[in-house]
Amino acid sequence: GALLLLAAISFNLVAAGALLRPLPVPGEPPGPAKDGPGLVRLLRHGPFLCYALAFVLVDAGYYVPFVHGE
């Protein structure tokens, strides 16, 4: 039950991470990105990569004691 609860909390954080998108550049017309799909552009965005790495490290550190604690 505890692992299901942790999975539900982690899944909600995925939705929060999806909201971290690059801000539009002033002077650029709104519309689809010219340099590729949104996911590729997002994976090259520095602040998103820092957030994703921090999420992976925190989630791994939070998950390991519950699995190996018994």
Q: Please check whether residue 21 is in contact with residue 37, taking contact to mean a CB–CB distance below 8 angstroms.
A: no
Structure confidence at residue 34 as a pLDDT band (50, 70, 90): low
- Residue 56's pLDDT is 85
Between 25 and 33, the higher pLDDT residue: 25
Say how far apart CA 64 and CA 6 lie, in whole Å: 12
Kindly report, residue by residue over 1-29, the tens digit of the pLDDT: 877 887 888 888 888 877 877 777 787 77
- Residue 42's pLDDT is 78
Q: ∠70-62-2 over CA atoms, to 5°?
A: 60
